[in-house]
Structure formats: C-alpha cells, structure tokens
Amino acid sequence: MKNYAHEYALSVNNPSKYWLEQSSNIAWSKTPTRGCSYNWESTKGTIFTEWFADGELNITVSCLDKHAQNTPEKVALLWQGEQSDNVHTYTYKQLLEAVCQCAHMLTNLGIKTGDIIALFMPMIPETYIATLACARIGAVHSIIFSGLSAHALATRLNDLKAQTLITAASAVRNGKNIPLLDSARQARACSPSITKTVVINHDEQSSLESDEYNWHTEINNLPKTFEPVIRHAEDALFILYTSGSTGKPKGLVHTCGGYILYASMTHKQVFDIQPEDVYWCTADIGWITGHSYGLYGPLSNGCTSILFEGVPTYPQPDRYWQIIQKYRVTKFYTAPTVIRLLAQAGTKWLEPYDLSSLKILGSVGEPLDPTSWQWYHTHVGKNRCHIVDTWWQTETGGVMLCALPGEHKTQAGTVGQPFYGIKPTLVSATEDRSITDLCITQPWPGIARTIFNDHDAYAKTYFTAHSGMYTSGDGAFLDHDNYVITGRIDDVLNVSGHRISSAEIEGAIVKHPTCAEAAVVGQPHPIKGEGIAAFVVLSADCIETAKLLDEINLCLRSCIGPIAKVDFLYVVEGLPKTRSGKVMRRILRKIVHGTTDIVGLGDISTLLNPEIISEIINKIIHG
C-alpha cells in the first residue's frame, strides 16, 4: 500500500512527468520530450488529447525486435487449436520473421502507410501476425469481431472505407467450421471500397475469386526482415468498433505512442508479469481486451502467451482447466460470463486437473458478482491466487480500476482502486443523486482520441455531460476505498460482456414483418449477467405465434450476429413514451429488475400513456 500511495500521488500530481518517465520502457526512434496537452472543455474549443507529440516509434519494435534480440528463442505465442493435438508455437524470432514476411506481402499488394486494413479473422496466429504487420508498415488496422454477421461487417467496412480486407476461409467453433469467407463475400457485395481480399485457407482449400489473394501463396518465400515504418506517437494505430447508445457502431481510434505505453504498463502491473510467466487471456482479438491484453500488452512485455481457438465448453466444460494444466499457466484473464458458465457446469470438471501453476486470476467485461468471485477464488485459485477484477472500456485502452497484486487487498464485488495516473470522480447523474456517473478528471495515455469520422459524436458522448471530464457511461459508488460498478447508465447492454446498443437490437427486431415497435433493456440472467428483454408491439391484426421469438432471433442473427439473442420476449399493447415520443426504457428496466408496484417506478407523470404500465407489469408477472 505504501508504494502504491506514493507512486499514485506522483502519477496524478504531475502526469506529464510521470508518463514521460514511464515511456522509457518503450522503444522510441525519437524519444519524446513533451508529455500531455489537452482540452476537455467544449466551451474552450475543440476537444483533444495528445501525448508524447514529438515522439516517434514503430510499436512492433517494442513488441518484437526488442525481444527477438534479447530472448530470440523464448516462446511468444503458443497457439492451441480446438483439437488437442493442433498446436503451433512461435518464438519471438519466428514471430518477428513471420510479421516481416506479412509486411512484405501487404506492401506488395500496394498497401501504403496510413491505409486502413480491415481484418475479419479467427483466433489463429496469422491474425496476430497480420495485425502486427499492419503496424509494421504503418497501416491502421481495424479488427472486426469474427462472430458478427455479414451485415454488421458491411456496416463497419463502409464506415472505414477500407480497400483491403484480410479474412480466413473459416473459423472453428464447437467442432464446426464457420464459413467466414462466405460472410466476407456477402459483406463485400455491399462494401464497394474493398478491392482486395486476402484469404487464409486455414483449414480447407477453397477456390478464390479474382480480387481475392491466397495468403499462403502470396507470402511464400518473401524476405524475413522488414524495416519498421516510423510513425508519430499521435498517429493512429488502430480503429476498433464498439456499441454506443445509438444504433451506429463507433470506431474508436487509438494512437501508437500513448496506447502502447498504457497497454504495456497496465499489463505488467495488473498481472505482475515475470519472465517465467505463461499468460493466458481468453478474450477474442475482435474486442479491446484481445487487443490490449491478448496481443499488445503481453508482447510488449516479452511474455509467453496462449492463443486458443475454441470455446470453454467444447468438447467438454473442462477445456480451460486442461489448457491451464497442460501449459502450466500462471496468469489467467477471463470474463465473468465464462466463470458463471464453468461454475454452473460444476467443480467435477476441474477437480481432476492440477491448477497449482496459477498465481493471478483476472476478470473483465462485466461485474464479477460475489458468488462468482468466491467460486473463482476457491475452486480455480484454491484460495491462494490474487483475484483482480479490472474495470475499463474500449475507449480507455487499458485497465483503469483494479486491485493491484502486491498493493491492494481484493474486496469481492468491487473493482478496487485507480491505476497510476487515473483520477476518477463520482458525479451525480440524476437530481435525486440515486445514480452517480463514473468520470475521469484528467487524461491518461491510453484514451481513444476520437471516433473515426465523427469527432462531434466523440466530444458529445464523452465530454459534454460534465464539462472538463471524461464521462464513462457507467454508474458507480465507493465502498471504503474501492469502486463498485453498478452498470451502464445509458442505453447500452452488456450481454456476456459484449457491448450491444439497445437501438441496434430494436432496429433488427422491427425488421420482422409483424413487429411494429420494440424496446429492449437488460434483464438479469444467470449466465450472461444481463440478458436481452424485448418489449414488442405487433402490427395491427397480427397475433403472437409460438415461433415469434425464434424468428426475431433470426433477424438479430442476420443483422448483428449470434451474440445478440432475445432471452425474454414480452408482447405488449404499447410502450411507455414521453409526450415527445421517446420510449422510457428506464421504466422498463426497473420493471424487469423486479419493481412491480407503480409507486416504485418513480415519476411517471411525464408519460403520454401511463395506463400502459399496469399492463406491462401484468405481463411480466403472469406471462
């Protein structure tokens, strides 16, 4: 605690000095002399944040060359396929060579510094290789989660106006091949900017179309060295889409210098990374956790990481325990939804395994409820591992709140204290002070600098509710010195740790021919944390059929992907609306959280149709 208090004070009292000192852990071509400059008040002009503006680097030097030189034979990546005997390892030297070959392939295809490359890829080593190759040549990567539908992929490709797409013939999931290339082709049909698609024929040989290039043929025999293209610290490294409260996904832009420093340092400290560690982050590369703590954090720290293409329950719910035993994993990072799923499967699945290598157990993405915390601590950690529940967001680039190992005691149900340089504050979001916004009062290097193509939305979403502060969109309160996250206070759902906007789901539901109107909110769910509750008003003369839920879910699958699925369907006569026609999701949220008397719902006098409330409550109680 003593170390933390001292270092924390230094970090927040003079952030520029603190982070410039920390930045010496990154390999710069030109060492920065400038720390932070920023404006977070819209009345004073454009909102911006800059770190290390005069620094120059290529982040792959920190992630690859440095270790290829110092520890060339150390394993960087340990890929485990779904089949137990499907394993591939890359040492740092081999990984650097593979990235350089891929960099040549991309430049041979005409890709230039600053171009945007979209990736729609499964959890295979080539995904990491391609991502790092983009960074090597100074291109901006945008990885689109491979579980999204062709429609969702097309929306993102069109926003990016990317010319190149890298994909794989298929992904492997639950023993099945998921045809990624089919989705990519469908998406491309309505994304005219894409002129080249590179395809990894991961498992199967498929014939390619004229604008498609076979990764293996193109990369074969290319040189294994490639000079890194030097970038400015503030140049974009990647764009990553996430959901906001509107139906339009937001492409958050992260920069080279600030992002790599923040991902690297938080990874090192949150997991107390040591040279002998075998680290495993189960997150998909398509999300920010996969970026910061699957790829960039571990490689920048010269760590040995596991990359697993598979799910926790296939062929049986012992898959994770098997992998932990097999590779003697020391640091493990997963999501509460996984913990709940495996806890529900039962301890009989983990009892046969030796999990004694584990030292630190991390969690991210949604609240880790005390029951799951206890299970994780007792059965996985055998009461001797430090549990670190980490709160952060796509926007923050890295962990913001957590109980640092060796510094803080974990308190179940809380996300601990601020990381170095992070100054949180709780600001009242409602007049009755029943909800407080979790805000951050000063910049840190990992913050996303803008929303791609929509800086106004960036300024509005994060910097208008409370001038001069970053507003996270989460509610929180303090329990002693530890923060407790109460969840999103905007119209964003957190389903199994996936962020989905209610507007996006509603848009997909009303594509069903009988659904006239829809409103969705999160409803407590035993495994997913939050399930999707949909209130649907049918078109005149339409009746509810037994197949409605399945049909609605087909609409969601095709518009968004299999991650979006209605769990609770309520067909109602009308939705509670304000006089200006806005649906009051707040009321629906309260009802599905168990408030079934009208008084408990608060002020409903502003509703245009207050009588609808009793009907909705009846529906919830009696079905």
Binding stretches for ligand PRX (CB under 6 A)? 242, 287-289, 364-367, 389-394, 415, 472-474, 485, 487-488, 494, 499
Strand partners, 80: 87, 308
Smallest distance, ligand PRX to C-beta of residue 521, A: 15
Smallest distance, ligand PRX to C-beta of residue 547, A: 32
Smallest distance, ligand PRX to C-beta of residue 145, A: 10
Smallest distance, ligand PRX to C-beta of residue 439, A: 12
Closest to ligand PRX by CB, 415 or 601: 415
Closest to ligand PRX by CB, 58 or 393: 393
Smallest distance, ligand PRX to C-beta of residue 237, A: 17
Question: What is the residue type of 362?
Answer: G
Strands 304-308 and 278-281: parallel
Per-residue burial over 426-446, b = 16 or more CB atoms within 10 Å of its CB, e = otherwise: beebeeeeeebbbbbebbbbb
Cα distance between the two ends of the chain? 52
Smallest distance, ligand PRX to C-beta of residue 180, A: 22
Number of residues that make up the chain = 623
Residue 605 structure tokens: 């006098």
Backbone φ and ψ for 525, nearest 5 degrees, come out as -140, 135
Smallest distance, ligand PRX to C-beta of residue 257, A: 21
Residue 513 structure tokens: 């021919």
Closest to ligand PRX by CB, 526 or 623: 526
What whole-number distance in Å separates Cα of residue 32 and Cα of residue 9?
A: 23
Smallest distance, ligand PRX to C-beta of residue 396, A: 8
Residue 76 structure tokens: 């960087």
Closest to ligand PRX by CB, 55 or 475: 475
What whole-number distance in Å separates Cα of residue 592 and Cα of residue 578?
A: 19
Strand partners, 160: none
Quick check: 285 and 143 in contact, CB under 8 A?
yes
What whole-number distance in Å separates Cα of residue 295 and Cα of residue 264?
A: 10
CA contacts within 13 A on the Cβ side of 477:
8
- Minimal CB distance residue for ligand PRX: 394
Quick check: 324 and 280 in contact, CB under 8 A?
yes
